[in-house]
Homo-oligomer: A and B are copies of this chain.
């Protein structure tokens, strides 16, 4: 997504005295001060910031310099899994995607859900169990307190989902800056004796599969950028896949149980991420265009809503599936004879490595799609 100049958040009209009740949702964080923001956060998190679970206990309540996380000693070396991701306003979400009246709590909730999705999906892709999230939130001074409330509500919602029940919010940092920037760090555990699911084990002959249909987030982004009202359940589903994703968080463990040889989170588009599996495993990947076209057909309502011709729609829906990104599904390879876990869809197979002399590419696919996913830094 191109970077636009930073829009400023709307500031409340009229003058608000600084001693107004700190939880007045119409106040900005700049007007209400840090303590009021912290009160809102503590209120929203409830016992998610302190209660012990079967796997971990925060042995020191938030409010000190750092969180102390005590891992239950199960007789094996404790292993933790760590990941961090940032969402930036105008890069990963745009205020213009929400109606003016929804740019407070509703937008905050969506950003919280998406930030959690990014990080928890990374842990899922390692077959790790999330045990803690740390949050660093940079906000323009004009940000509505209700945005913060919505954000933490979204986080809380995300960690109550299946697969994240053991996850606690272990603390964080608050600061101000020119645009909203949210960095989450997720900590996961691997059960004793479970190896993580990594990218390096794909073998020639393996099946390549995804944990669910692709392209919804890409189609949703196109609808949002076009300003489409998404006034049907189907279009709203695609929009929500972009603004408030809800990834499955048990597919990593399911894949491992089914014999997966390699796996990773699909966040930058199938073509780009399949290339990463290929490089990490020193193999090539062949994607099955028929399988992708089958998935693409489900996105034709979005193409129609955008007024594309049938030919344009076929190309665009295939591009959403193959290069759209942000689907947060698992991409995994399985032995040829393995039964895929329920809900998984085969998208291709693993080939022997090629050589530069062949002009062999890491990802083989016939057709008209760009062979690039999303490079978050390259200009376009």
Question: Residues on A close to B: CB < 8 A?
Answer: 3, 5-6, 18, 29-31, 33-34, 37, 59-60, 63-73, 76-86, 88-92, 122-123, 125-126, 128, 132, 134-141, 170-179, 181, 183, 185-188, 190, 196, 198-199, 264-265, 280, 375-379
Closest 5 CB pairs of A and B: A78-B78, A88-B177, A183-B183, A66-B83, A73-B77
Partner of A6, one of B6, B91, B128: B6
Which among B34, B77, B176 is the interface contact of A91 at CB below 8 angstroms? B176
**In the docked arrangement, what's the CA distance between A376 and B375, Å?**
33
Q: Complex formed: what's the CA distance from A6 to B177 in Å?
A: 9
A258 to B132, CA, bound (A): 32
With A60-B196, A79-B59 known to touch, is A84 a contact of B185 (CB < 8 Å)?
yes
Which residue of the partner chain B has the closest CB to A30? B379
Question: Chain B contacts of A379 at CB under 8 A?
Answer: 30-31, 141
Smallest distance from the beta carbon of A53 to chain B beta carbons, Å? 14
Q: Are B88 and A198 in contact (CB under 8 A)?
A: no
Point out the residues of chain B lying under 8 angstroms from A78, CB to CB.
71, 73, 77-78
Q: Given the complex of chains A and B, what is the CA–CA distance between A271 and B378 in angstroms?
A: 46
A86 touching B190 in the complex, CB below 8 Å, given contacts A68-B79, A78-B78: no
Q: How far is the CB of A284 from chain B (nearest CB, A)?
A: 19
**Contact in complex: B170, A82 (CB < 8 Å):** yes
Measured CA separation A280–B60 after assembly (Å): 12
In the complex, what distance in Å separates the CA atom of A66 from the CA atom of B66?
21
Asked if residues A84 and B265 are in contact (CB atoms below 8 Å), the reply is no
Establish whether residues A73 and B76, one from each chain, have CB atoms under 8 Å apart when the complex forms.
Answer: yes
Closest to A262 in B: B64
A378 and B84 contact, CB distance less than 8 A: no
- A82 B64 Cβ-Cβ under 8 A: no
Task: Let me know if A376 and B183 touch, CB within 8 A.
Answer: no
Q: Which of B138, B175, B187 contacts A82 (CB 8 A)?
A: B187
Contact indicator A178/B175 (Cβ below 8 Å): no
In the complex, chain B residues whose CB is within 8 Å of the CB of A176: 3, 88, 91, 376-377
Contact of A70 among B79, B92, B170 (CB under 8 A): B79
Instruction: Decide if A174 touches B122 in the complex (CB within 8 Å).
Output: no
